[in-house]
Amino acid sequence: MSQEKEVKTKGSKKSLQTARNTFKFIVEDYLQGHAHKQEGKPVVWSCALAEKELFYAMGLHPYYPENYAAVCATQRKNRDPSAEKEAVRFAKIAEQAGYSADLCGYQRVATGYIMNDDLTDAPLGGMPAPDLMVTTSSVCDVRLKWFEDMAQRLNVPLFTLDRPERVFNDIRRHPMPHEVKYYKSILEDYMSFVTDVTGIRYDEDRLRECMEWSYKTNEVRLEILDLRKAVPSPMGCADGFATMYPGMYCSGTEKAYNYYKELRDEVKAKVLAGEGIIQNEKFRLMWYGIPLWFNMGIFNYFEDIGGVFAYEPAYNPSPWPQSTGDDPLTELAIRSLYTGTSMSSGMSSILEQCREYHINGAVLAFLLTCRPVYLPALETKRILEKELGIPSVMIECDLVDERSYSEAQVKTRMDAFAEQILGQLEAKKEVA
Amino acid sequence: MFVAGIDIGSAATKAVLLNQTEIVASHIIETGPRSRATAEEAMKGILEKSGLNSGDPGYIVATGYGRINVPSANEIITEIACHAKGVNAVFPKARTILDMGGQDCKAIRIDHKGRHVAFVMNDKCAAGTGRFLDIMAQMLKVPLSEIGPLSMEAREDIKISSVCGVFARSEVARHLRRGVSKADILGGLHASVADRVYGILKRVGIEEDFVISGGIGKNIGVVRRVEAKVGLPAYISDEPQLIGALGAACFARERVSQG
Ligand code: SF4
């Protein structure tokens, strides 16, 4: 590499207009929630992998502390460039109260934010105080105790969606009848819980309508993923992560569907025009894990030497089972149980995706504070090299707390990795 | 035409001047608080030693953590690539490198052309680095150059279970209080460093020939223990500390010859 760049923690350069508009989408969603609260309607705080239709169907406006922590990782108080990031300010409050710096940054930031005592003293005017909280047992144990802790601090009722972790080799295996029955009973309990807290009754038609929007949204998102396989890459990780909010957090709404339709059309047009993120694409990378929300500019790091981050497995949709025409709660239970967490099935899909997206190398977020990402990272590294000869490099830090990030160390790893990939491409040419 | 490589590490800065075929001069100094000034001093050092007063080298490649602070550099290349290149120049058959520097430690696998094909770094903590042994040498009041040989005189197998510099200090203090000899304690400390770096080597995959570079290459206590774990003899150049700077200079020579 003849010229080095500074890795300053900074926002990413997005290549799609729809991606650039997403922050506006998020701000509007936050404002709608504030208006909803002011009208005396209930607000829920929840997390990824809780089924979002459950909220919209029950007239709840959802907020997600984890996503809010990611927003805080990009913002400084009053936009003052000399101020520390809001995520750091809140994480410090939690740490001063004794929460370990080894805990997941999402937890520390959200907890510190609550402990700050003024929920409006925060980016986007903060999250309105919740009337209830809903967490899930899926994927990560931190969310169970973290939500319990927040619910106690804010003195609101909490419900846990206890979803069986389906750890077996083929996640496409249809859930067993007893699993469906069990999880459906949990969803029914949830409905009664919301009715008890808010007085709002479960309306099957409303849930069905929300689910229809999610099915349609999922289909369009899958189309986008398919388009992203094109060479040169029309939509990379900077755009991928920037556009995940509507799908992850507003699934079940018409606005999320419309958003992805627009995105799909934009990506399709780029593919048809043969337009890539950069002019001269030489190598394609995968980003494994959650991004470093405080430094999304990392996705543009290799662009001037022809490297693009083309694909990220996180937050992407997977095909859902066909609608069965059952009652919507049964259908939702079946759909949710398709979310498997087995490492071996995760690995085989990563291998498949690396082939489909023509990946030459992988950067692995080695998130020391997040076990569900951290543990499979090691296996991902091993298997990519063994099965596909794809080299990878690990970036160690937290996802929102930039104090865990060492610029000099990351620069050395990233630059050495780029040299390695370019060397490999050169070696391939020599053989050919 | 002369070319130069300069490696600004966190502890020491190394510079090498090359002509078409061989090293003309080399210079090692402590890295000062200002990388720029250190770089200039190191460059001045090789020019003076070479007796050249024909002005600047034709091409300069900078590497190491301070690599972006060398104003006279024509190109910047990472220390991973430079170590790979430098080792390849000295030991063309080498495929695995363990570089143990002052503050970090890295394992690198390379191909026949000296290109790195895999690397693993430990730069998060002092365990397995020169810094760890430095701290321990100070604590035991044994000159740094003597700790390796003294560790080879260990009679008793002392386990230092902590790889963390801070915790290891208290373990060492406990052994001292119990009257354990310095040689035995040093034996335990060197074994713990060897254990740690062996883990890094295993992650990168070990292939023959095996080379150790970096300042710790001069420490017989670490070298012998790593060799025993790896099961291979380690090739070590006369100046293991210079390998990174030499690699940088080799890149510089390549650039000049490619025009
Ligand atoms: S530990 Fe990981 S999976 Fe769990 S909440 Fe934190 S980031 Fe999410």
Q: What is the predicted pLDDT for the residue at B123?
A: 66
- Which chain B residue has the Cα nearest residue A409? B123
Token pair belonging to A141: 């144990």
Q: Look at residue B54 and tell me whether its pLDDT is greater than 60.
A: no
Q: Is B119 on the interface with A (CB under 8 A)?
A: yes
Residue with tokens 């959802």: A62
d(CA A365, CA A375) in angstroms, rounded, equals: 11
A64, A106, A375, best to mutate for ligand 1 pocket (most atoms within 8 Å of CB): A106
State in Å: Cα A142 to ligand 1 middle: 6
State in Å: Cα A179 to ligand 1 middle: 25
- Cross-chain residue pair B78–A416, CB shorter than 8 Å: yes
Cα–Cα nearest to A335, from A349, A317, A314: A317
- Cross-chain residue pair A391–B117, CB shorter than 8 Å: yes
Q: Which atom of ligand 1 is nearest to the CA of A104?
A: 6
**Largest alpha-carbon pair distance within chain A?**
71
- Cross-chain residue pair A423–B117, CB shorter than 8 Å: yes
The interface residues of chain A toward chain B in range 122-161, judged by CB-CB distance below 8 A, are none
Q: Which residues of A touch B77 (CB under 8 A)?
A: 1, 419
The SS3 call for residue A181 is: helix
Q: How far A7 CA sits from the closest chain B CA (Å)?
A: 12
> Exposure pattern of B201-235 as b/e (b: 16+ CB <10 Å)?
bebbebeebbbbbbbbbbbbbbbbbbeebbeeebb
Q: Look at residue B221 and tell me whether its pLDDT is greater than 70.
A: yes
Q: Which residues of A touch B75 (CB under 8 A)?
A: 2
The minimal CB distance from A420 to the residues B65, B76, B116 is found for B116
Q: Which residues of B touch A301 (CB under 8 A)?
A: none
* Residues in chain A with pLDDT values less than 50: 1-7
Q: What is the mean pLDDT of residues B31-35?
A: 83
- Which chain B residue has the Cα nearest residue A419? B81
Residue with tokens 């409905």: A191
State in Å: Cα B175 to ligand 1 middle: 41
State in Å: Cα B1 to ligand 1 middle: 57
d(CA A44, CA A42) in angstroms, rounded, equals: 7
Q: Is A413 on the interface with B (CB under 8 A)?
A: yes
Chain B interface, best mutation among A7, A360, A419, by max B CB count within 10 A: A419
d(CA B86, CA B23) in angstroms, rounded, equals: 12
- Cross-chain residue pair B117–A420, CB shorter than 8 Å: yes
Under DSSP, the state recorded for A85 is: B
- Cross-chain residue pair B124–A396, CB shorter than 8 Å: yes
Cα–Cα nearest to A355, from A321, A378, A327, A389: A389
- A226-281 pLDDT per residue, tens: 999 999 999 999 999 999 999 999 999 999 999 999 999 999 999 999 999 999 99
Q: What is the predicted pLDDT for the residue at B88?
A: 96
Quickly state the pLDDT bin for B128 (edges 50, 70, 90): low
DSSP one-letter string for A234-303: SS-HHHHHHT-HHHHHSTTSHHHHHHHHHHHHHHHHHHHTT--SSSS--EEEEEESS--GGGGGGGGTTG
Burial (CB < 10 A; 0-12, 13-18, 19+), residue A100, is exposed
The protein residue whose alpha carbon is closest to atom 2 in ligand 1 is: A370
Q: Look at residue B101 and tell me whether its pLDDT is greater than 90.
A: no
Q: Which atom of ligand 1 is nearest to the CA of A105?
A: 6
Q: What is the predicted pLDDT for the residue at A1?
A: 41
The interface residues of chain A toward chain B in range 385-404, judged by CB-CB distance below 8 A, are 385, 391, 396
The protein residue whose alpha carbon is closest to atom 7 in ligand 1 is: A370
- The ligand 1 site (C-beta within 6 Å) comprises A 66, 104, 106, 139-140, 142-143, 370, 372-373, 399
Quickly state the pLDDT bin for B55 (edges 50, 70, 90): low
The minimal CB distance from A419 to the residues B78, B111, B123 is found for B78
Least confident of A192-201, B135-144, B157-166, B179-188: B157-166
Q: What is the mean pLDDT of residues B216-220?
A: 89
Residue with tokens 């020939």: B209
Q: Is B118 on the interface with A (CB under 8 A)?
A: yes
The protein residue whose alpha carbon is closest to atom 3 in ligand 1 is: A140
Q: How far A423 CA sits from the closest chain B CA (Å)?
A: 6
DSSP one-letter string for B97-148: EEEE-SS-EEEEEE-TTS-EEEEEEE-SSSTTSHHHHHHHHHHHT--HHHHH
Q: What is the predicted pLDDT for the residue at B33?
A: 83
- Cross-chain residue pair A420–B115, CB shorter than 8 Å: yes
Q: What is the predicted pLDDT for the residue at B34?
A: 83
The protein residue whose alpha carbon is closest to atom 6 in ligand 1 is: A104
More confident residue, B105 or A251: A251
Q: What is the predicted pLDDT for the residue at A172?
A: 58
Where do the domains of chain B lie, and which CATH numbers do they carry?
A: 1-91+242-259 (3.30.420.40), 92-236 (3.30.420.40)
Distances (CA, A) of A155 to A135, A217, A228: 15, 35, 45
Q: Is the ipTM of this complex over 0.95?
A: no
- Is the distance from CB of A299 to CB of A287 less than 8 angstroms? yes
Q: Which residues of B touch A415 (CB under 8 A)?
A: 78
Q: What percent of chain B has pLDDT over 70?
A: 95
Q: Is B124 on the interface with A (CB under 8 A)?
A: yes
Q: How far A93 CA sits from the closest chain B CA (Å)?
A: 25
Q: What is the predicted pLDDT for the residue at A203?
A: 95
- A371-389 pLDDT per residue, tens: 888 888 989 999 999 999 9
Residue spans of the domains in chain A: they are 17-431
Q: What is the mean pLDDT of residues B116-121?
A: 92
State in Å: Cα A315 to ligand 1 middle: 13
Q: What is the predicted pLDDT for the residue at B125?
A: 66
Q: What is the predicted pLDDT for the residue at A170?
A: 60
* pTM for the whole structure: 0.88
- Is the distance from CB of B200 to CB of B120 less than 8 angstroms? yes
Q: What is the predicted pLDDT for the residue at A7?
A: 42
- Cross-chain residue pair B118–A385, CB shorter than 8 Å: yes
Q: Look at residue B126 and tell me whether its pLDDT is greater than 70.
A: no
Run of H or E including B243: helix B243-258
- Cross-chain residue pair A415–B75, CB shorter than 8 Å: no
Q: What is the predicted pLDDT for the residue at B40?
A: 87
The SS3 call for residue A93 is: helix
Q: Which atom of ligand 1 is nearest to the CA of A106?
A: 6
Q: What is the predicted pLDDT for the residue at A168?
A: 64
Run of H or E including B12: strand B12-18
State in Å: Cα B12 to ligand 1 middle: 40
Q: How far B179 CA sits from the closest chain A CA (Å)?
A: 37
- Is the distance from CB of B153 to CB of B184 less than 8 angstroms? no
Q: Which atom of ligand 1 is nearest to the CA of A399?
A: 7
- Cross-chain residue pair A412–B68, CB shorter than 8 Å: no
